[in-house]
Structure 1
Amino acid sequence: MTLPTPDSKFVQQVEKAASRIPPLWPLKHFVAVNPFLGLTDQRFDAAAHTVQQVMNANMLMSRSYYAEQILSGRISERDLEVAAKEHGLSVNDLKRAAAQPSPAADVHKALTVAEVLDEEKGTHFARIVTEEISKWCASYYDQSQAVWTMPWKDLPIYAAWRAAAKFDRQPEVLGLPQFRKWVSQLSEQPLEAIRQVTDALGIPENALEVYLHHALSTVSGWASYVRYQTWDAELGGVKKDDLIQLLAVRLSFEYALYKGHFSIQRPWNRATFRMAHLDTSKPNLKVELALQRAFEHGFQRSLLGQLAGQQSADAPTRKAVQMVFCIDVRSEVFRRSLETVSADIETGGFAGFFGLPIQYVPLAEDEGNAQCPVLLQPGLKVPETLQGSSAQQQKDAVSSRLLRKQSMQVWKAFKTSAVSSFAYVETAGLGFGFKLASDSFHITRPVKHPSAHGLHEHEIRQLGPDLSGFSADQKLTLAQNMLGGMSLKENFARLVVLAGHGSSTVNNPHASGLDCGACGGHTGEANARVAAKILNDPAVRVGLKAKGIALPSDTFFVAALHNTTTDEVTLFDTENLPDSHMPDLKQLDLWLDQAGTLTRTARSRYLGTEGQSGQKIEQDIARRSKDWSQVRPEWGLAGNAAFIAAPRSRTHKLNLGGRVFLHNYEWKQDSGFKVLELIMVAPMVVASWINLQYYGSTVDNRAFGSGNKVLHNVVGGTLGVLQGSRGDLQTGLPMQSLHDGEKFIHEPLRLSVLIEAPRVEIDQIIQKHGNVRDLLDHHWLYLIRITEEGGFERYLGNLQWEKVESN
């Protein structure tokens, strides 16, 4: 049998279809990802049609949702006028349409053979295929959850699947006749197999990309996890074809179904004809797109109204405390509270990894976590050590940690082995009664960091970063970049606190998603402590002075961790401060306690405790953080809608409702505008990922979210979750992170980015970076420039701007 040889054009189409799939990070470092990442080369409106036709999903809310916003006044008459004019409609058109139910989609959709069979014969092959592939992927990628591992894990994905398929009778039992026979006819090479299948199915050339993209979307969760694997490899300079191999697996089922059910040839031909004539420019979503634009204009109108008249202040006088937080929207509330309790405090915002692309290696481990945005590869390794300890103490601590780790592994093997598992339950089951009771009544605290296991309390307090592997030049460069990125070069306070953040929660598979995305889905404690240690280094300070940054001798940097669930702040390594700063530290502790109370009170309206005393609110929030049955320990980044890079003086008097990413930026200090470029290509892009993850999970939770959190089951140890016991791997956020049971807490709005900087410099950065230009020119986010006088200009695309009124 002569197999078709894939030509270069065919390969390009396959790779293009694969590129439409966004990555999905595993639970151990779950981070927000733009679910439309592979579509940003299209305009937002065109992508909405692509999603509807190719993925059978939605990128816009129902008309009834927009009608509610009009009725509540959230969308005003002025907002409707702006949107109607932009979309060639009238205000009455929009009002009439919003009052009607959303019409059934009248567009052709891409289909698989499995879906055509289901339509024609009333079968359930689409579900069966997804479940069979999902089951196999869970076994192939398993990370120590399974007791018995797959014997083909050392083979590439497609080869491993073919090896297993020779013995697997399950598809035939489920109604796929002669499945093993048909699969054995396919090439051993994934690209050849894909070409073989598409030829057999008669896929027209102009339908190929659509069909392949749709086929991958039927296993979108696992496809996204595989895309993460290739993404991670590509950051290290290695190109992998794993996603194409998974596509070959998916199409093998198509081939077997087609060969086993030739009676569907006519309806299948109709399906391929429709796929060849899909038109993403068809304006069937014109009304919904206009209503979404009106919704977003309403938010922008309100935000610009708040910002109007807020002038950039001259250089401030010296404060008692400067505290730099991550730009995370949850920090905005705490920052406002902290500045409320004392005028002697100044806060700032900077990406929570503090410009340190490090891998932090816990004590007694060989590898650690990448404590930086997933767009970056960690370039520096920071081992954890017992600070101030002797060599023997260090050795003993490592031994204790290793012994504890080995004991846990042996105990797990005993509990899960085929011989001992039943006897273990019989004899030890009652012993877990106390643990269940203590967990239920919140007696226990959330578990400590893994490196703390096996250590004494005093040793845990000594754990910290070892910077002995850093050269003097590296530390100086890092220090200069950190201070430049924070726009912090003068008027240093006596205490400068660098606050990372993390979330306290238990029994939550997506816990890392509540930690710091800028730290790769981990807490920011490690980065804050490394940053403070570098900036307190006397040699570094000498080097900074030579570069024009003079740190006063009485300025000391302190690391901190902001717990975004409880709004408590922990300070680290304060024993290294001189006695002269102990009164400052005591005052700071008092201010932090007061700010925590104010912040918890502000958040209480979303947690059902509004109107109660500060003490009662604090107790309730602490309980939530330890409650293994709590589906909402906190609201995370729900509500995020804007990103502002400007001096703090533009926003410090405003209540922005915990909806804005706040990044300090002083363009007059930015020689060469390197900081502006970094902000636009990194924090701005990451913020858009977060924003669009929340957006996608809200507009279509089935396609881009993860359903009901109560029904989640962890797969493969740390890979992800299933909804129940089967189906595809889930991707985005659960409904409980977006909806309180009665209404959506998150509003699906594209990110509004406001930057105070010269227009010509912004234009040059847009021209230089294609991914940034795609986001802006294709309207995946809005860009508004704050002028030096406090006015506003909106970016229209193609380097064109227009003046915007703030009313």
Structure 2
Amino acid sequence: MTLATQAQQTNAQASQTRERLDLEQVRQLAESAGRKIAPLWPLDSFVAVNPYLGLIDQTFSQASGYLGAIAGERTAMDHEWYAARWRDGRLARSHIERAVEQLGRPVAVETVIDALESPRATSTPVPMLVEKLDRPGSAPISIFVVDQISHFLAAHFDRGQAIWNAPDESEALYRAWREYTLIDRSAQAAGLGKARRYLRDVPVDPIEAIAWAIETLQLPDSVHADYLFAALKSINGWAAYCRYRLWGAELTGGSNQDLTDLLAVRLVWEALALKATDSAAIRREWQREIERHHEAIAAAQHEAVIDEVMLTATEIAFRDPVIRHFHAATGTRAEAGRPPVQAAFCIDVRSEVFRRHLETSFPGAQTIGFAGFFGVPLSYSRLGESTCRTHTPVLLNPGIEVADRVEGDEDLATRREQRVGNTLSWKQFKLSAASCFTFVESAGLTYIPKLIGDTLGWHTPAPPPDQAGLTDEERARVHPALATEADLDARVGMAEGILRGLGLTGQLAPIVLLAGHGSTTTNNPHRAGLDCGACAGQTGEISARVAADLLNDPAIRPGLAERGIEIPEDTRFVAALHDTTTDEVDLLDLDEGTVEPSKLAELRQALGQAGDLTRLERLVTLRENLNDNPADREAARKSVTHRGRDWSEVRPEWGLAGNAAFIAAPRERTRDLDLAGRSFLHDYDWRQDEGFGVLELILTAPLVVASWINLQYYGSTVDNERQGSGNKVLHNVVGGLVGVLEGNGGDLRVGLSMQSLHDGEDWRHEPLRLSAFIEAPAEAIDTIIAGNETLQHLIDNRWLTLLRLDDAGEVFRRRGHGDWVAETA
């Protein structure tokens, strides 16, 4: 057959494909592929995200097999990790037997035990065409394509880092990339010099461009959906960022086309590479491979089932001691009069450690766990800023607008704006091409003391965004307040919601502490990930201050009394901030004249003692040597302070590593249980929850957010290459605050760094799916789940395990609607 005849046949096939392709069908395929991608929040609001979010409508093992076969993604640890637990007794035959039973006996127990001694099969992903075009001794085309797209997107989405901005940042992503690539000559180095010529014939509309690429590649109909998803997975980081932009737009009723545009870019490169290299033989071989790929999916599904049995058995081994404790705690204790203090902390696992030690240091104190935004769904505008940022869980829309106010200094906002602007200008000057060499030559010696100070941790770390541009004295005069004063009835309603959510409808202490949390770190692009997830990756300070102001307002107390909530005259709500790096707790906006001095002194002493004990416990997990004295409290304080200020410290704290459980029950259920900082603790008493409105809030918001956190840590551990961000020492911030690259090129990285999960010798995070214990009637739980599709997917498809406690401390596992089975340890 002549080349001319082959060309005629190719053109005829392409023409027939064009007739078959319906643009609306292509649009739906693109939409479906994009929805399978999990969003990635930018660095200034970096929050944990379930990396499997787009696949939770499948069972865990189905999604695992699919990801392995399509993207080569691992969703379980190597068999050796489970085998090590088998050999040392942490994983027993009884655990495996119960796991097989729970999963409906998909495999035999002996099959799983035998698999422990065999290496896990390697998943083979859908082969992208550009990968088949790579040749030894030549520039790799697959790497070039990802780098070219990544460099373009870094400029297109830049948020202030670039010295020279893109010509038209408002232009649609695909159109902007097309214009950019038509003048970009970098493809020649990768052997794709003809690509620009072919690009001129590619449609300008992204959906038509996707159709053109499918036709050019002659993709069989049966692989369209999988190949489009694989294409997005090949540039997963930027796809995740585009998914975030779509998420944000839809949350406010809008739309965004960046994800579809990115898919068009990635597929067009596939087709351009094929045409530019004229590799018909490679295309035929590649098409045969992808047509056979359904066999790989079937094989991956079988492996995924065995992996899930091992995972489930390990989760059972973790849960058993907790369940035994609940069985022993057969009732709640009677209230012992008015407590001296009630302290509400975020449900974050780090708060569990501090709460436990505060209760030890302050007998009679009552601690409470609640989502760190304290039920105040606000958006917040900093002093000198004209835009608001969300300060609630990203699942919710803010309903209250808060802005900084300052009394007696109307020009402070302008001065702050100038200071921050000058800092950015100086930083930009240091980084500019015109000054880099002369700057080092002229200022290098003066930087020696700063470099030494930074290395030794002498300097105060860069302030968080809320404090930047303000002195301590100025910051003390800035106060968040409702941007638009709500009427009295609305404020009473907000206060009632806060108190009922916290369970504070009975006897109130003289001091009620509302402690948000944040983290002190230096030189850490992902610092927001260590702050409060319930506050959209910011500290909980603003939420605590706004809630305390509202609850201290004497005008609302009569209205609360009419609704059945009496606040004593001497009760004072005090905002606080718990620093999870140093475990110091700062009291905020406190008018000491309104609190009895002896009670305030007792609280401060107890907070200090609890901080000492918490630091000592945390430093053990950080393998910190306290001068050979593990109980040296002063050395512990100095150590954690140094870790937060040291620019070279790769793990100032462990964050939420180790998280594995969520417990919503009265505190008396867990007061005597050391949960080792592994459990989200949400206080909840269903007897005080008329209509189960609080239970619904807990299940649909805090539980879902905890699941996101849990699965982000899980995914970053089991496959850090694809769901984590690699080595944080190599991170480079891209696009201002868009994200990080590992090194100078490649895809945008998602998830957590290895240093946040591994201590250099062993994993600090044990990758387990969340075990959620809820003390509430089965009927109420089932009704809420039936009305929420997200909960149905998470629970019924085994992305978490839901368990219920009854009044006697018995534990029941949910198998389906109305189907609860007793769980024995």
> TM-score if structure 2 supplies the norm length?
0.94
Query: 1:130 deviation in Å?
Result: 1.2
- Conserved in 1, the CA contact under 8 Å of 2:379 and 2:398? yes
Say yes or no: does 1:306 pair with 2:325.
Answer: yes
Query: 1:199 deviation in Å?
Result: 1.9
In structure 2, the residue corresponding to 1:662 is in which secondary structure?
Answer: strand
Task: Name the residue aligned to 1:756.
Answer: 775
Say yes or no: does 1:571 pair with 2:591.
Answer: no
Aligned-partner Cα distance in 2 for 1:601–1:792: 33
Say yes or no: does 1:262 pair with 2:290.
Answer: no
The one of 659, 682, 685 equivalent to 1:640 is 659
Task: Name the residue aligned to 2:624.
Answer: 609
Deviations 1:105-138 (Å, cap 9, x if unpaired)?
A: 4xx6312111232389987222221111111111
The one of 702, 705, 709 equivalent to 2:728 is 709
Query: 1:417 deviation in Å?
Result: 4.3
Aligned-partner Cα distance in 1 for 2:136–2:58: 33
Q: Superposed, which structure 2 residues align to 1:9-408 within 5 Å?
A: 9-85=25-101, 86=103, 87-105=105-123, 109-118=125-134, 124-259=140-275, 260=277, 261-275=279-293, 279-280=297-298, 282-310=301-329, 311-386=331-406, 389-390=407-408, 393=409, 395-408=410-423
**Residues 1:684 and 1:455: Cα distance change in structure 2 (over 3 Å):** closer
Query: 1:421 deviation in Å?
Result: 4.0
Query: 1:146 deviation in Å?
Result: 1.2
Query: Could you tell me which amino acid in structure 2 is paired with residue 118 of structure 1?
Result: D
In structure 1, the residue corresponding to 2:513 is in which secondary structure?
Answer: strand
Aligned-partner Cα distance in 1 for 2:23–2:731: 43
Query: Could you tell me which amino acid in structure 2 is paired with residue 553 of structure 1?
Result: E
Query: Could you tell me which amino acid in structure 1 is paired with residue 394 of structure 2?
Result: V
Deviates more, 1:560-569 or 1:260-269: 260-269
The one of 594, 605, 613 equivalent to 1:590 is 605
Task: Name the residue aligned to 1:769.
Answer: 788
Query: 1:317 deviation in Å?
Result: 2.1
Query: 1:41 deviation in Å?
Result: 0.7
In structure 2, the residue corresponding to 1:373 is in which secondary structure?
Answer: coil
> TM-score if structure 1 supplies the norm length?
0.96
Aligned-partner Cα distance in 2 for 1:515–1:284: 37
Query: Could you tell me which amino acid in structure 1 is paired with residue 311 of structure 2?
Result: Q
- Conserved in 1, the CA contact under 8 Å of 2:106 and 2:305? no
- Conserved in 2, the CA contact under 8 Å of 1:327 and 1:661? yes
Deviates more, 1:415-424 or 1:689-698: 415-424
- Conserved in 2, the CA contact under 8 Å of 1:503 and 1:563? yes
In structure 2, the residue corresponding to 1:693 is in which secondary structure?
Answer: helix
- Conserved in 2, the CA contact under 8 Å of 1:363 and 1:398? yes
Aligned-partner Cα distance in 2 for 1:402–1:257: 48
- Conserved in 2, the CA contact under 8 Å of 1:206 and 1:276? no
Query: Could you tell me which amino acid in structure 2 is paired with residue 262 of structure 1?
Result: A
Query: Could you tell me which amino acid in structure 1 is paired with residue 24 of structure 2?
Result: S
In structure 2, the residue corresponding to 1:102 is in which secondary structure?
Answer: coil
**Residues 1:416 and 1:289: Cα distance change in structure 2 (over 3 Å):** closer
- Conserved in 2, the CA contact under 8 Å of 1:84 and 1:94? no
Aligned-partner Cα distance in 2 for 1:267–1:196: 21
Aligned-partner Cα distance in 2 for 1:797–1:123: 54
Query: 1:357 deviation in Å?
Result: 1.5
Task: Name the residue aligned to 1:599.
Answer: 614
**Residues 1:717 and 1:791: Cα distance change in structure 2 (over 3 Å):** same
Aligned-partner Cα distance in 1 for 2:420–2:305: 58
- Conserved in 1, the CA contact under 8 Å of 2:572 and 2:595? no
- Conserved in 2, the CA contact under 8 Å of 1:64 and 1:98? yes
In structure 1, the residue corresponding to 2:411 is in which secondary structure?
Answer: helix
Query: 1:621 deviation in Å?
Result: 1.2
- Conserved in 1, the CA contact under 8 Å of 2:517 and 2:531? yes
Aligned-partner Cα distance in 1 for 2:69–2:812: 35
Query: 1:418 deviation in Å?
Result: 4.3
Query: 1:552 deviation in Å?
Result: 0.9
Aligned-partner Cα distance in 1 for 2:115–2:164: 57
In structure 1, the residue corresponding to 2:574 is in which secondary structure?
Answer: strand
Aligned-partner Cα distance in 2 for 1:340–1:357: 33
Task: Name the residue aligned to 2:806.
Answer: 787
**Residues 1:639 and 1:454: Cα distance change in structure 2 (over 3 Å):** closer
- Conserved in 2, the CA contact under 8 Å of 1:631 and 1:736? yes
Deviates more, 1:672-681 or 1:281-290: 281-290
> How many positions carry a matched residue from both structures?
798
Query: 1:452 deviation in Å?
Result: 4.2
Deviations 1:322-365 (Å, cap 9, x if unpaired)?
A: 00000000000000000011222110000001111112222122
Deviations 1:173-225 (Å, cap 9, x if unpaired)?
A: 21124111222221111011111111222222221110000000000001001
Query: Could you tell me which amino acid in structure 2 is paired with residue 791 of structure 1?
Result: E
Aligned-partner Cα distance in 2 for 1:503–1:538: 33
Deviations 1:616-643 (Å, cap 9, x if unpaired)?
A: 1121111111110000100000000000
Aligned-partner Cα distance in 2 for 1:167–1:512: 38
In structure 1, the residue corresponding to 2:675 is in which secondary structure?
Answer: coil
- Conserved in 1, the CA contact under 8 Å of 2:66 and 2:301? no
Query: 1:289 deviation in Å?
Result: 2.0
Task: Name the residue aligned to 1:426.
Answer: 441
Query: 1:444 deviation in Å?
Result: 1.2
- Conserved in 2, the CA contact under 8 Å of 1:6 and 1:192? no
Query: Could you tell me which amino acid in structure 1 is paired with residue 453 of structure 2?
Result: S
Deviations 1:489-518 (Å, cap 9, x if unpaired)?
A: 111110000000000010011111000010
In structure 2, the residue corresponding to 1:522 is in which secondary structure?
Answer: coil
Query: Could you tell me which amino acid in structure 2 is paired with residue 402 of structure 1?
Result: E
Query: 1:468 deviation in Å?
Result: 5.9
Gaps of 5+ in 1: none
Query: 1:403 deviation in Å?
Result: 2.9
**Residues 1:169 and 1:453: Cα distance change in structure 2 (over 3 Å):** closer
In structure 2, the residue corresponding to 1:746 is in which secondary structure?
Answer: coil
Deviates more, 1:502-511 or 1:176-185: 176-185
Aligned-partner Cα distance in 2 for 1:200–1:255: 6
Query: Could you tell me which amino acid in structure 1 is paired with residue 561 of structure 2?
Result: K
- Conserved in 2, the CA contact under 8 Å of 1:182 and 1:255? no
* Identical-residue share of aligned pairs (%): 43
- Conserved in 2, the CA contact under 8 Å of 1:778 and 1:797? no
Let me know the Cα RMSD of the aligned residues: 1.9
Gaps of 5+ in 2: 1-10
Aligned-partner Cα distance in 1 for 2:314–2:562: 51
The one of 482, 492, 501 equivalent to 1:485 is 501
Task: Name the residue aligned to 1:801.
Answer: 820
Q: Superposed, which structure 2 residues align to 1:693-704 within 5 Å?
A: 693-704=712-723
In structure 2, the residue corresponding to 1:498 is in which secondary structure?
Answer: strand
Aligned-partner Cα distance in 2 for 1:222–1:468: 35
- Conserved in 2, the CA contact under 8 Å of 1:324 and 1:349? yes
Task: Name the residue aligned to 2:527.
Answer: 511
In structure 2, the residue corresponding to 1:213 is in which secondary structure?
Answer: helix
**Residues 1:350 and 1:182: Cα distance change in structure 2 (over 3 Å):** same
- Conserved in 1, the CA contact under 8 Å of 2:715 and 2:724? yes
**Residues 1:234 and 1:171: Cα distance change in structure 2 (over 3 Å):** same
Say yes or no: does 1:495 pair with 2:511.
Answer: yes
Aligned-partner Cα distance in 2 for 1:579–1:428: 52
